[in-house]
Amino acid sequence: QVQLQQWGAGLLKPSETLSVTCIVYGGSFSDYNWNWIRQTPGKGLEWIGEINHSGSTNYNPSLKSRVTTSRDTSKNQFSLKLSSVTAADTAVYYCARGSKGLSMDVWGQGTTVTVSS
């Protein structure tokens, strides 16, 4: 059974860089797209971006200038970095496995990130 486990710093100051990593247990890593989503009370669920099965990235234009996603296939891990954070980036961040036509079927447990001075 495929599981995603994620971790990252929970408290950041404005202007710092958010970093969250997700490790994939079980299943194929290279055959899927790996997504990042965040959830805030005010804006609901927001797709941040993905790194796909070929290593290409796609980002939400609303965050594109600050987002970087990467992967390490040898460790079955993928990561999110979001630079220059502000209070508006306070959210629960999720990683999720995706596949075209199959939506996002496996999710991490979520990482709560708070941005506060």
Partner 1 sequence: AIQMTQSPSSLSASVGDRVTITCRASQGIRNDLGWYQQKPGKAPKLLIYAASSLQSGVPSRFSGSGSGADFTLTISSLQPEDFATYYCLQDYNYPYTFGQGTKLEIK
Q: Using CB under 8 A, list all residues that contact partner 1.
A: 35, 44-47, 58-62, 94, 96, 98, 100-105, 107-110
CB of 117 to partner 1, least distance (A): 27
- In this complex, which beta carbon is closest to partner 1, that of residue 8 or of residue 98? 98
**Contact present, 52 and 106 (Cβ < 8 Å):** no
CB of 59 to partner 1, least distance (A): 8
Measured in whole angstroms, the distance separating CA 75 from the mean position of its chain's CA atoms is 16
CB of 13 to partner 1, least distance (A): 26
- In this complex, which beta carbon is closest to partner 1, that of residue 3 or of residue 30? 3
- In this complex, which beta carbon is closest to partner 1, that of residue 6 or of residue 79? 6
Identify the residue whose tokens are 């079927």: 105
SS (H, E, C) 53-105: CCCCEEECCCCHHHEEEEEECCCCEEEEEECCCCHHHCEEEEEEEEECCCEEE
